[in-house]
């Protein structure tokens, strides 16, 4: 697999945004796009976009722009999306099941192969193609499925325990939907999604408008 030099973290965070725009563009039948247009679709300025893509060794052609399919391949490769990273979901309530039904995860190389839940009516059963196991089965689930990533969708009070069990079972990449800050060892890559952050930004704009009136 191609090896990239160091890509800055802020660039890494924008690559999924570019990829999403490129996938949308490809679905419209377009074959090339200018850096200005792609930048606008992605909500960044064009010099920043060009700089970001230069880390991938990718440069547009003057007067033509970028080849959409090729750029999509390059960004996907940089993101490791040629690979498959099996996922276990901890907490198989509404949010966990919503993620299991989210076709985008499997398409992007993150198949949800198992779930962990404490509900005895769920354990041992399969929902939406995902088998549900008891918390004590975590080590066997991680080893058996070659789990690379754990996603935490439990109620708040159970989220630190879920993180601890993932870490103990050897999982080193965790995505948390818990609204509290979780504690993990330094060698664990923990990322959080706070579902209310974007709502708060909308609220800020609403208040600005209200203040103007």
Q: Closer CB to its own copies, residue 82 or residue 136?
A: 82
Backbone angles phi, psi at 130, to 5 degrees: -110, 120
DSSP state of 60: P
User: What are the strands, taking DSSP E only, across the chain?
Assistant: 32-33, 66-67, 87-90, 112-116, 126-127, 130-133, 149-152, 173-176, 189-192
Q: Residue 194 CB, nearest distance to its own copies (Å)?
A: 6
HEC letters along 116-167:
ECCCCCCCCCEECCEEEECHHHHHHHHHHHCCCEEEECCCHHHHHHHHHHHH
> Rule CB under 8 A: is residue 66 a binding residue for its own copies?
no
> Rule CB under 8 A: is residue 109 a binding residue for its own copies?
yes
Q: How many CB atoms lie within 10 A of CB 92?
A: 27
- Binding segment for its own copies (CB under 8 A), chosen from 51-59, 64-72, 134-142, 190-198, is 190-198
> Rule CB under 8 A: is residue 121 a binding residue for its own copies?
no
> Rule CB under 8 A: is residue 146 a binding residue for its own copies?
no
> Rule CB under 8 A: is residue 205 a binding residue for its own copies?
yes
**Binder among 5, 63, 186, 191 for its own copies (CB under 8 A):** 191
Residues that bind its own copies (CB under 8 A): 1, 3, 12-13, 15-17, 19-21, 24, 41, 78-81, 83, 85, 87, 93-95, 97-99, 101-102, 104-105, 108-110, 148-149, 151, 153, 173, 175, 179-181, 189, 191-208, 210-211
């Amino acid at each position: 697999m191609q090896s990239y030099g160091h890509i800055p973290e802020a660039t890494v965070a924008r690559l999924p945004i570019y990829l999403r725009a490129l996938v949308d563009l490809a679905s419209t039948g377009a074959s090339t796009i200018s850096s200005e247009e792609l930048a606008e679709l992605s909500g960044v300025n064009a010099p920043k976009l060009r700089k970001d893509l230069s880390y991938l060794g990718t440069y547009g052609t003057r007067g033509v722009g970028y080849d959409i399919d090729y750029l999509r391949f390059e960004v996907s490769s940089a993101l490791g999306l040629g690979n498959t990273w099996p996922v276990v979901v901890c907490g198989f309530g509404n949010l966990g099941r919503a993620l299991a039904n989210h076709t985008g995860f499997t398409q992007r190389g993150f198949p949800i192969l198992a779930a962990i839940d404490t509900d005895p009516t769920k354990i041992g059963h399969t929902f939406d193609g995902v088998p549900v196991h008891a918390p004590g089965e975590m080590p066997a689930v991680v080893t058996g499925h070659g789990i690379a990533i754990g996603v935490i969708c439990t109620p708040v009070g159970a989220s630190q325990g879920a993180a601890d069990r993932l870490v103990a079972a050897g999982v080193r990449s965790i995505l948390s939907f818990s609204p509290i800050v979780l504690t993990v060892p330094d060698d664990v890559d923990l990322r959080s999604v706070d579902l209310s952050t974007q709502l708060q930004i909308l609220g800020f704009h609403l208040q600005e408008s209200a203040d103007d009136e």
